[in-house]
Amino acid sequence: MNYFSIDYAQARNQFVEVAGANGAHLDSHLHALKGPRGENLAVDLAWFGSRDAKRAFVALSGVHGVEGFFGSAVQTAWMDRGEYRRLPDDACALLIHAINPFGFAWLRRTNEDNVDLNRNWINFASSVPENEKYEEIAADVSPVDWSEAVRAETGSRLAAWRERNGMPAYLQAVTSGQWRHADGLFYGGSGPSWSRSVLTEIVTTLLDRAQRVVMVDFHTGLGLHGYAEPIIHRRRDDPGFSRTQAWIGATATSIYGGGSISAEVRGDGISAIQNMLPNALVDAVSLECGVLSIDKVDIALRADNWLHAHGDPGSSDAADIKKLIRAAFHSDEPLWQGMALGQGLAACRAAMNGMSQPAA
C-alpha cells in the first residue's frame, strides 16, 4: 500500500478501511460543510485498547489541513503494520485523523473561516494578543490584488523589511499569530473554532481516565527537505521538556527561546492539551517535516490567502495556486515520502516507549 494519498478523500478512505481491518473502534465527527467534490468531511477516530487504560498514546493529523498528508500516512501505516500490538496491557492508542478536514480537503492550511487552528487556542474572553510587527507588513503580506506587478511591489517591500529586521524577525512577525485581520495570514480567529471544540470534546471525554499521555502531532512545511524536526511546546527549564526529550531524542527543540525552525507561537493546541488534562502527565511533540525552502512556502501561503480572501477559488488561477500550496506542504517524491514515513513511525514508537519511562 502507498500510505500517502493523492487527496483528503483517499486519505480518509484508507484510514477508515485500515482501522476497521485491524479491529479498531471507529468514531467520526461530521463537519457541516462538504469537500470540493461534494464528499463528506469528518474528523475520524481509531481507538485501540481499553477505554480504562491508564496510559495513552495519541497521534494527531491535519491540524493545518493541507499538511495532513504526512500525518495521515503515518497513522495508516502504523495500523497497517500492526504497531498497536506493541501496546502494553494497561495502555491504549487514539488516532485522530484530519482534525481540520475542511483545510485538508480544500488544500488550505487554515479552516473554513481562514483560522489557523494552532493560533486559535487563546482565551477569547480576555483581550486578544497584539502583534505590532505584523501590522507593519500586513498590507504587503496579504494584498488585495495578486497581479504580477503587485507581487513584485509587495515582494520588494517585504524583502527590504527582512533586510532591516532579519529573517527570524520576519517569521516571528508573520507566523506567531495575529487576531486583527480575518483575511490575513496566521489568523487566530474571533472565537473557538469547530475543530477546537471537537478536539476539546475528544480529549476531555476519551482521555479523562488516563494518568500518562504521550502525543505526536504531525506537521510539514518548515525545515530542511525531508527532515522531521521534533518540537516540544515547553520551555527548556520545564521538567516536562527534559522528560519528553528523553523519549523523543536529543535533537528535539523547544518552541520557546529560539533554536527551533518554528517561531514562538501563541494559541497552539499542543500547549492547550497539556493543560486540558490536569490529572495526567502529558508529553507532546510536534513533528515538523520540511518540503520546500521558506521563500517558496511564503509565496504559496500568500497566493492561497489571496485566492480565498480576494480571488475566485473557481477561476483558472485557482488550479495553479492549489498546485503551489500542495507542493509547499507535501511531496509526491518517493524519497521524501520514505524519509517522512520512517521518521514518523519512529516517533510513534518512541512515544509508546515513553509511556513506560519513569515520570521523573
Tens of pLDDT along 25-75? 999 999 999 999 999 999 999 999 999 999 999 999 999 999 999 999 999
Pairing of strands 25-34, 40-48: antiparallel
Question: What is the predicted pLDDT for the residue at 57?
Answer: 97
pTM attached to this predicted model: 0.97
The conformation of residue 264, written as its DSSP 8-state character, comes to: P
- pLDDT tens for 229-282 read 999 999 999 999 999 999 999 999 999 988 899 989 999 999 999 889 999 999
**Radius of gyration of the chain, Cα coordinates, nearest whole angstrom:** 20
Q: Is the residue at 69 inside a domain? A: yes
Q: Is the residue at 229 inside a domain? A: yes
| Separation of alpha carbons 320 and 27, rounded Å | 35
Question: What is the predicted pLDDT for the residue at 315?
Answer: 86
Q: How many domains does the chain have?
A: 1
Query: Is it the case that residue 359 has pLDDT exceeding 70?
Result: no
Q: Is the residue at 308 inside a domain? A: no
Q: Is the residue at 204 inside a domain? A: yes
Predicted confidence band of residue 358 (pLDDT cuts 50, 70, 90): low
Q: Is the residue at 105 inside a domain? A: yes
Helices (H), 81-131: 101-105
Task: Residue 246: give the domain boundaries.
Answer: 8-124+190-295+327-354
Q: Is the residue at 117 inside a domain? A: yes
Handedness of CA 188, 191, 195, 196 (dihedral sign): positive
Question: What is the predicted pLDDT for the residue at 314?
Answer: 84
- pLDDT tens for 158-170 read 999 999 999 999 9
Question: What is the predicted pLDDT for the residue at 220?
Answer: 98
CATH number of the structural domain spanning residue 213: 3.40.630.10
Q: Average pLDDT for residues 121-130, to the nearest whole number?
A: 94
